[in-house]
Amino acid sequence: MIMEHAELRGLVQKVLPGIRDLRHKLHRIPEIKYHERATADLVSSFIHREGLTILPRYLDTDVVALMQGARGEGANVTLRADMDALPLNDESGTGWSSRHRGCHHACGHDGHMAMLAGSVLVLESLKDRLKGSVRFVFQPAEEEGLGGKKMVDKGVLNDSPEADAVFALHGWPGEPLGTVLSRPGVLMAAADQFELTVSGPGGHGAMPHKTVDPVVTAAQIVCGLQAVISRKLPPQQPGVISVGSIHGGSAKNVIPDYVALEGTVRYLDGRSKNIIRQGMEKTISGICDAGGAEYRFDYTDGYIPLVNDGAMVEFGKRVAVSCFGKDAYREADVPTMGAEDFAYYLDEKPGAFFWLGLGEKSPELHTPGFDFNDEALEYGITFLCGLALEFLGS
> Which residues are marked as active site?
84, 142
Report the C-alpha gap between 196 and 218 in whole angstroms.
9
- The answer to whether 103 and 88 are in contact (CB under 8 A) is yes
R_g (Cα) of the chain, nearest Å: 24
137 close to 150: Cβ distance less than 8 angstroms: no
Question: Coil, strand or helix: which one is 10?
Answer: helix
Q: Which of 144, 119, 175 is nearest to 339 (CA)?
A: 144
d(CA 351, CA 347): 9
Q: What is the 3-state secondary structure (H, E, C) of 193-247?
A: EEEEEEECCCEECCCHHHCCCHHHHHHHHHHHHHHHHHHCCCCCCCEEEEEEEEE
Would you say 84 and 145 are in contact if contact means Cβ atoms under 8 Å apart? yes
39, exposed or middle or buried, with CB in 10 Å at 0-12, 13-18, 19+? buried
266 beta partners: 191, 240
Given a contact cutoff of 8 angstroms between Cβ atoms, the answer to whether 381 and 19 are in contact is: yes
The per-residue DSSP string of 144-178 comes to SS-HHHHHHHTTTTTSSSPPSEEEEEEEETTS-TT
Distance CA 247, CA 314 (A): 47
Q: How many CB atoms lie within 10 A of CB 44?
A: 16
Beta bridge partners of 170: 355
Please calculate the CA angle 48-52-55 and round it to the nearest 5 degrees.
85
**Are residues 176 and 99 in contact, defined by beta-carbon separation less than 8 angstroms?**
no
Q: Are 170 and 112 in contact (CB under 8 A)?
A: yes
**What is the maximum span of the chain, computed from C-alpha positions, in angstroms?**
82
